Amino acid sequence: MSKVKVAAFSISLDGFGAGSGQDLKNPMGVRGHELHPWLFPTETFQKITGKSGGSVGVDNDFAAQSFENVGAWIMGRHMFGPIRGPWPDHSWKGWWGNKPPYHTPVFVLTHHPRPDLTMEGGTTFHFVTDGPEAALARAREAADGKDIRIGGGVSVLRQYLALKLIDEMHLAVSPVLLGEGEHIFGGLDLPMLGYAPSTTVSGEGAFHVIVRRMERTTNGEES
């Protein structure tokens, strides 16, 4: 059955999913790169960036699983790039060069329309201006029975959590304190929204937690 999932999403010990002050030099915000040392050395990351080699083990297993059975992605405009406001032109085509690592349709949430952008390797960016639920409906159709991955950033993940639309979330908790940035759970009551941790695994560079949304049966029990 198709799932809406978050996978390989790195957070700090103090709950930040990105640094502050994103710009061209800091795609993940200031110090945001410190959330991802568990991922960068893995064989999976090396492969998606066109390199060979890399580490194997628990961290790599989670990285590899994050790409399995994904038929469409959803991301926010800030994950697509640092440009704010109306698009000045169509020259910005993402952080990833001519061949992004998605290889599926990607639906970018934005307030400003832009034509579809087709890249090498099967990635097409579709810019959605009518909200997260509309983006999800389009992603479901495009995924054709496969899973939909919510890529980020933090604000997009929070929107889908608040709407109770995420089925499963893999968080990689990195041993770092950011102190400031974009907090992932502030103001969200996850138990009230129906979420509970189901699996915890220690990796080489991060602590991996799987959180799932629990369905309630007719008698009020969780399943």
Q: How many domains are contained in the chain? A: 1
pLDDT at residue number 215: 73
Does residue 207 lie in a domain region? yes
pLDDT digits (tens, 9 = 90+) for 142-159: 999 999 999 999 999 999
CATH number of the domain encompassing residue 36: 3.40.430.10
pLDDT tens by residue, 24-44:
999 999 999 999 999 999 999
**Does any domain span residue 218?**
no
Q: Summarize the confidence of residues 164-181 as an average pLDDT.
A: 98
Q: What is the residue whose two structure tokens read 């639906």? A: 107
The pLDDT of residue 93 is: 96
- Position 1 confidence tier, pLDDT thresholds 50, 70, 90: confident
pLDDT tens for residues 54-100? 999 999 999 999 999 999 999 999 999 999 999 999 999 999 999 99
Phi, psi of 205 (to 5 degrees): -130, 0
The percentage of the chain sitting over the pLDDT mark of 70, rounded to a whole number, equals: 96
Neighbours of 122 (CB within 10 A): 12
**H-helix segments, 68-164:** 77-80, 132-143, 154-162
Residue 219 lies in a domain: no
Structural domain span for residue 209: 4-17+30-83+100-213
CB-CB contact of 79 with 18 (8 Å): no
pLDDT band of residue 219 (cuts 50, 70, 90) is: very low
Whether 91 is covered by a domain: the verdict is no
Task: Assess if residue 176 is contained within a domain.
Answer: yes
pLDDT at 75: 98
Q: Does 220 fall in a domain?
A: no
Taking a C-beta distance cutoff of 8 angstroms, is the pair 107, 139 a contact?
yes
Q: What is the mean pLDDT of the chain?
A: 95
Closest CA to 163 of 213, 210, 209: 213
pTM score: 0.94
Identify whether 153 is preceded by a cis peptide bond (ω within 30 of 0). yes
How much is the pLDDT for 29? 95
3-class secondary-structure state, position 192: helix
What pLDDT does 217 receive?
A: 35
Res. 102 pLDDT band, cuts 50 70 90: very high
pLDDT of residue 181: 97
Q: Is residue 107 part of a domain?
A: yes
pLDDT exceeds 60 at position 218: no
Residue 144 covered by a domain: yes
